[in-house]
Amino acid sequence: MAIKGVLFDFSGTLFRIESSESWLRAVLTKSGVALPEPDLVRAAQQLESAGALAGGAFPTGPLPDDLAALWAVRDRTAEAHRAAYTGLSRQVRLPDPGLHDALYDRHMTPAAWQPYPDTAEVLGALRERGVAVGVVSNIGWDLRPVFRDHGVDPYVDAYVLSYEYGIQKPDTRLFALACEALGVGPRDALMVGDDRRADGGAADLGCAVYFVEHRLVTERPDGLRPVLDLLG
């Protein structure tokens, strides 16, 4: 059966977040806080290990007891998302306590994200072929400005974001909402993502699923192009 709609994950699929060091450096510069270079690099590494950068690496060790339950439902509301990530950030000592909220705010800006090299090409090709495109993301904030700023919003027909519905992947209800928004049945849809557990939940609804690798932008120049070959 020909695919009539393609659902894409956001982070690690269409876009990639900046490095932890770039993230911290940008916030320090904007805040006017000076930190010796060795201390900056060390703090960035600690933030990465803590999993404090949403869209970056997951925590490398056990979560603090007060954050473990929140982490499991972090994408259901904007409040839970901010609390979870700023809570992880606060495990790392920084010169000013206000930097933890500033770091969270930074990760929501278009400047913190970069599209993969073939994102615009693939989304544009789908639009030319008349294939509906949706973005289905576990997230705690509105990512639409990121798409607009990088010029790919015109290719997206619908955004289905977990925090707007109180449902997070792999719950099939989120994928069902996305299919409904695109006006296609699950068996006429393809889900493209990087997380086999979260994005793989679309298969339980009857969608076809294709996985890409969550890698640096420079390391994955054409990971999305095979999607065009799967349309049938």
Predicted confidence (pLDDT) per residue in 155-177, tens digit = 999 999 999 999 999 999 999 99
| pLDDT for 1 beyond 60 | no
Q: Are residues 175 and 75 in the same domain?
A: no
Average pLDDT, the chain: 97
Q: Select from 195, 16, 228, 17 the least CA-distant residue to 117.
A: 16
The CA radius of gyration of the chain, in Å to the nearest whole number, is 18
Cis preceding linkage at 170, omega within 30: yes
Residue where a domain terminates, one of 111, 143, 173:
111
Q: Are residues 216 and 129 in the same domain?
A: yes
Q: Are residues 171 and 149 in the same domain?
A: yes
3-state secondary structure of 167: coil
Count up the domains in the chain and report the number.
2
Q: Are residues 11 and 121 in the same domain?
A: yes
Q: Are residues 145 and 164 in the same domain?
A: yes
Copy the structure tokens of residue 24. 């911290």
Q: How far apart are CA 200 and CA 202, in angstroms?
A: 5
**Domain ranges, residue 43:** 17-111
Residue where a domain terminates, one of 75, 93, 111:
111
Residue where a domain terminates, one of 88, 111, 134:
111
Give the phi and the psi of residue 113 in degrees, each rounded to 5.
-120, 150
Query: Which pLDDT score, from 0 to 100, does residue 2 have?
Result: 87
